């Protein structure tokens, strides 16, 4: 019994933690939103309790039986009119106050500060393409499904779509914004603390809408710069023979039609850039942790994991899988 109570009590609190929770705020925008949510909840719950109380009282009231349903007592009518008018007045004031709070929150949420970093995020069926913009063109690079940001700095995200409408949403940091075909939207994210925050496409976008996740990794400035410089650089040729063989397999197989690995001949641009795929925590848009086994599983049977995904099933000899996975895992 106790355990059941404990479990039930833990349910409402469960929303307060977790890496994709709106109420576990890790940025100024998300905090404003969470605060607003609790204010609204408190006010509206009070209204609900009062209304239900009134209903309950109305039902429990003692009364004379058998009176004429058309007979009304003018005094009662007047009293009820006054009570209802007051209630309506209070509703109006409440609604006005909430509108005001909402407007304040809206101003806070959408007033973009100047930030050092601008990202172009393109929603694609069913992954996120991320381009770090830079005035120096040789410092522009593209990655997928994993955004690194420096802690405490506002980062502007420009949103576009390459196919259908997607929605960019990192609940721990801020509310969502749609990536709409033929348009560009903007949203700003900022993290207060280092951490890993998960996000997910929030606008239905087809077969694999459910598996279109991404990570935002907030880290101290110097870690971020180190990461960025590494991302800018091309992939280093592998040293050990197994991975060298993996690279040969990669370059001789259909992989190159779609994927790019900077520093090699693979230059496809229609699938995630794999130059540093081994440094990313997840593959397949936030679906599988980056391990050698998962990479092998993904290559051998992507449709078993994400049915309908664009990645085709690649015909490999049994002894080709390990080297290939090993090579990709090593692309740090």
Partner 1 sequence: MRNLLTASIAVLILTACEREDREYRANPVTAETEEKIALSPLSGGPSPPVERRSGIGQGYEENAFHVAQGKKLYVWFNCNGCHANGGGGSGPPLMDDRWTYGGQIENIVQTIREGRPNGMPSFRGKIPDDQIWQIAAYVRSMGRNVRKDVAPGRNDDMHPAPAEQRRPPGEVIDGGQISPSAQMPQ
Partner 2 sequence: MTQTLAPHDVALDAVPEPTRLLTGQPAGMPGVQSEADAPPDPRELRDDQVDGQELTARLARTWGTRKGIIGALSTVDHKIIGRRYIITAFIFLFLGGLSAVAMRMQLARPESGLIGPDLYNQLFTMHGTTMMFLFGVPIGEAFAVFLLPLMLGTRNIAFARLNAYSYYVYLFGGAMIWFAFMLNIGPDVGWFAYVPLSGPEFSPGKRVDFWAQMITFTEVAGIAVAVQIVVTVFKMRAPGMTLDRIPLFVWAELVNAFIIIFALPAVVTASVMLIMDRLVGTHFFNPAEGGDALLYQHLFWFFGHPEVYIIFIPATGWVSAIVVTFSRRQAFGYIPLVLSMIATGFLSFGLWVHHMFTTGLPQLGASFFTASSMLIAIPNGIQIFCWIATLWDGRPVFRTPLLFVMGFFFIFVAGGLSGIMLASVPIDAQVHDTMFVVAHFHYVLIGGNVFPLLGAVYYWFPKFTGRMMSERLGKWHFWLAFIGFNITFFPMHITGLMGMPRRVYTYLPEMGWGNLNLISTLGATMLFASFVVFLVNVVVSARRGALAGPNPWDAGTLEWATSSPPLPQNFDRIPVVTNREPLWAHRNTLPVVAGLSVENREVIISTATAGRADLKESSPEPSIWPFLAAIATTVTFIGSIFTPWAIVWGGLPTTITLLGWFWPKGVKEDEA
Q: Which residue among 206, 237, 254, 267 contacts partner 2 (CB under 8 A)?
A: 206
* Residue 183 within binding range of partner 1, rule CB under 8 A: no
* Interaction residues for partner 1, span 14-73 (CB under 8 A): none
The gap from C-alpha 60 to its chain's centroid, in whole angstroms, comes to 48
Residue 303 CA to residue 298 CA, distance in Å, equals 8
Shortest Å, Cβ 263 to partner 2: 32
256 binds, among partner 1, partner 2, none (CB under 5 to 8 A by kind): partner 1
Exposed/middle/buried for 3, CB within 10 Å: 0-12, 13-18, 19+? exposed
Exposed/middle/buried for 20, CB within 10 Å: 0-12, 13-18, 19+? middle
Nearest Cα to Cα of residue 277 among 300, 260, 293: 260
Of 81-89, 109-117, 169-177, 254-262, the segment contacting partner 1 by CB under 8 A is 254-262
Helix axes 28-60, 74-110, angle to 10 degrees: 170
Of 14-22, 73-81, 141-149, 247-255, the segment contacting partner 1 by CB under 8 A is 247-255
Strands 127-132 and 117-124: antiparallel
Q: Which residue among 89, 252, 293, 332 contacts partner 1 (CB under 8 A)?
A: 252
* Interaction residues for partner 2, span 112-131 (CB under 8 A): 125
The gap from C-alpha 30 to its chain's centroid, in whole angstroms, comes to 12
* Residue 55 within binding range of partner 2, rule CB under 8 A: yes
Of 61-69, 215-223, 240-248, 252-260, the segment contacting partner 1 by CB under 8 A is 252-260
* Residue 230 within binding range of partner 2, rule CB under 8 A: no
Radius of gyration of the chain (CA): 27
Contact in structure between 158 and 139 (CB atoms under 8 Å)? no
* Residue 69 within binding range of partner 2, rule CB under 8 A: yes
303 binds, among partner 2, partner 1, none (CB under 5 to 8 A by kind): partner 1
Q: Tell me the DSSP string of 54-108.
A: HHHHHHH----SS--TT---HHHHHHHHHHHHHHHHHHHHHHHHHHHHHHHHHHH
Shortest Å, Cβ 185 to partner 1: 18
Shortest Å, Cβ 266 to partner 1: 12
* Residue 132 within binding range of partner 2, rule CB under 8 A: no
* Residue 189 within binding range of partner 2, rule CB under 8 A: no
* Interaction residues for partner 1, span 256-275 (CB under 8 A): 256-258, 270
Strands 127-132 and 141-144: antiparallel
For partner 2, give the closer residue by CB, 197 or 327. 197
Q: Which residue among 46, 99, 102, 181 contacts partner 1 (CB under 8 A)?
A: 181
Residue 210 CA to residue 199 CA, distance in Å, equals 12
* Residue 309 within binding range of partner 1, rule CB under 8 A: yes
Residue 254 CA to residue 257 CA, distance in Å, equals 6
Of 179-187, 225-233, 249-257, 272-280, the segment contacting partner 2 by CB under 8 A is 179-187
Give the binding site for partner 1 (CB under 8 A).
181-182, 207, 252-254, 256-258, 270, 301, 303-304, 307-309, 312-315
């Amino acid at each position: 019994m106790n355990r059941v109570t404990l479990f039930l009590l833990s349910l409402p609190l469960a929303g307060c933690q977790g890496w994709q929770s709106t109420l576990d705020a890790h940025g100024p925008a998300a905090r404003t939103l969470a605060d607003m949510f609790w204010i609204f909840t408190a006010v509206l719950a009070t209204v609900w309790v009062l209304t239900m109380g009134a209903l309950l009282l109305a039902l429990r009231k003692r009364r004379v039986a058998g009176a004429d349903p058309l007979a009304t007592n003018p005094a009662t009518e007047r009293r009820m009119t006054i009570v209802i008018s007051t209630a309506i007045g209070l509703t109006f004031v409440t609604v006005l106050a909430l509108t005001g709070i909402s407007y304040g929150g809206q101003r806070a949420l959408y007033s973009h500060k100047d930030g050092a970093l601008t990202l172009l995020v393109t929603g694609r069926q069913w992954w996120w393409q991320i381009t770090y913009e830079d005035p120096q063109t040789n410092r522009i690079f593209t990655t997928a499904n994993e955004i690194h940001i420096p802690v405490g700095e506002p980062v502007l995200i420009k949103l576009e779509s390459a196919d259908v409408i997607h929605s960019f949403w990192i609940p721990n940091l801020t509310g969502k914004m749609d990536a709409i075909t033929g348009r560009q939207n903007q949203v700003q994210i900022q993290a207060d603390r280092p951490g890993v925050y998960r996000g997910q496409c929030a606008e239905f976008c087809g077969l694999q809408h459910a598996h279109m996740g991404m990570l935002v990794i907030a880290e101290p400035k110097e870690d971020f710069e180190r990461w960025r410089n590494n991302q800018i650089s091309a992939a280093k040729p592998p040293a050990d023979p197994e991975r060298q063989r993996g690279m040969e397999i990669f370059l001789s197989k259909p992989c190159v039609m779609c994927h790019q690995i900077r520093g090699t001949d693979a230059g496809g641009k229609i699938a995630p850039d794999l130059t540093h795929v081994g440094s990313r925590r997840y593959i397949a848009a936030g679906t599988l942790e980056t391990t050698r086994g998962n990479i092998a599983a993904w290559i051998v049977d992507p449709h078993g994991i994400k049915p309908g995904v664009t990645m085709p099933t690649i015909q490999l000899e049994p002894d080709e899988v390990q080297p290939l996975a090993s090579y990709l895992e090593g692309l740090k």
